[in-house]
Amino acid sequence: MPESRVPRRRRYLVCEPRHFAVQYAINPWMRPDQHVDVSLAQAQWQSLIGAYRAHGHTVETVEPVPGLPDMVFAANAAVVVDGRVFGSLFHAPERRPESHPYDTWFKSAGYDVYRPESVSEGEGDFVPAGRWVLAGTGFRTTREAHREAQEFFGAPVIGLTLVDPYFYHLDTALFVLDDDNIAYYPEAFSPGSREVLARLYPDAVIATREDAMSFGLNSVSDGRHVFISPGATALAEELTRHGYIPVPVDLSEFHKAGGGIKCCTQEIR
Ligand code: ARG
């Protein structure tokens, strides 16, 4: 029998997909000729928000800005640990203006925002994991930003190199289950980074390529419930075996932009 997992109430920041679209291509999932059904995206997004609220979590929203179609991916705007906000500096010029409305939201909510000097895409590449912060590099966030984040948070930042362009952000290849464990897709990482993960997390939940390609690793866990893409069937079974409860939420319209559940969700810690 798996042990009983204890959920913790979370505070999430999200952005309604009113202006969501695929207008440029900055990752292999994006094809600007592909039609996006905005009303379907809105309905899918509402079902995610509904699932969070139904499980007792607080959801706050940033007002979407016309002309910033990727602003729905709230995770990329910052990473927040113990009320310290490490803002973003986007790799793509198309996304750079997103930092401003998010910084404004944080300031009006009473937070100071640190502006990184080097490219840094918030929780897309920084994944707080209990005593340390896991950090991806290879496609977007730089090593220099990892150093800045370690200095800013005063917590160990563990750099991991991503090698597969389909998994260009750390949060497409790995997610935190609770303070002690993670789930990940090993082949998304360089051999050395794979070894680091195996050393830190000998009991990790290992995902298949199919799980990863279904955005199964772009999941959000509250320590007990895992909000997960319904396509990640093997991973959902594995999570169940480990005592977690998968809560399927379909964000298929967002996959066209290379994003899923976690990308749409920033946790304010
Ligand atoms: N189109 C966006 C980009 O390529 C998707 C961002 C997905 N967000 C994430 N946290 N992985 O930047």
Is any atom of ligand 1 closer than 6 Å to the C-beta of 258? Answer: yes
Confidence of residue 4 (pLDDT cuts 50, 70, 90): confident
Between the CA of 4 and the centroid of ligand 1 the distance, in Å, is 33
Predicted pLDDT of residue 153:
98
**Angle made by CA atoms 143, 197, 125, in degrees to the nearest 5:** 40
Q: For residue 140, how far is its CA from the centre of ligand 1 (angstroms)?
A: 10
Q: Name the E strands within 5-63.
A: 11-15, 58-62
Confidence of residue 198 (pLDDT cuts 50, 70, 90): very high
Per-residue pLDDT at 3 = 64
* Ligand 1 pocket test target in 73, 98, 176 with most atoms within 8 Å of CB: 73
* Residues listed for the chain: 269
Q: Nearest residue CA, atom 8 of ligand 1?
A: 263
Residue pair 225/249 in contact by the 8 Å Cβ criterion? no
The verdict on the CB of residue 124 being under 6 Å from ligand 1 is yes
Q: Is the CB of 171 under 6 A from ligand 1?
A: yes
C-alpha dist (Å) from residue 99 to 25, 74, 83, 102, 104? 19, 10, 18, 5, 8
Judge contact between 75 and 81, C-beta under 8 A. no
- The contacts found for 236-242 with CB under 8 angstroms, 24 or more apart, are 238/183, 238/205, 238/206, 238/207, 239/177, 239/183, 239/205, 241/2, 242/2, 242/177, 242/181, 242/205
Q: Over the chain, what is the mean pLDDT?
A: 97
Model pLDDT for residues 219-262, shown as the tens digit of each residue? 999 999 999 999 999 999 999 999 999 999 999 999 999 999 99
Nearest to 209 by CA among 201, 197, 217: 217
pLDDT one-digit tens code per residue, 95-153: 999 999 999 999 999 999 999 999 999 999 999 999 999 999 999 999 999 999 999 99
pLDDT band at 2 (very low <50, low <70, confident <90, very high): low
What is the C-alpha to C-alpha distance for residues 54 and 220, in angstroms, rounded to an integer? 14
- Tell me, yes or no, if 263 is annotated catalytic: yes
The rounded distance, in Å, linking the Cα atoms of 113 and 64 is: 19
Q: Is 255 a catalytic residue?
A: no
Is the pLDDT reported for residue 265 higher than 90? yes
pLDDT tens digits, 29-83: 999 888 999 999 999 999 999 999 999 999 999 999 999 999 999 999 999 999 9
Q: Could you report the predicted ipTM of this complex, rounded to two decimals?
A: 0.97
Q: Of 146, 169, 225, 255, which residue is the catalytic one?
A: 169
pLDDT of 240: 98
pLDDT of residue 33: 82
Residue 1 in this model has a pLDDT that exceeds 50: no
For domain 2-267, the question of CATH label 3.30.9.10 is answered with no
Pairwise CA distance, residues 252 & 176, whole Å:
22
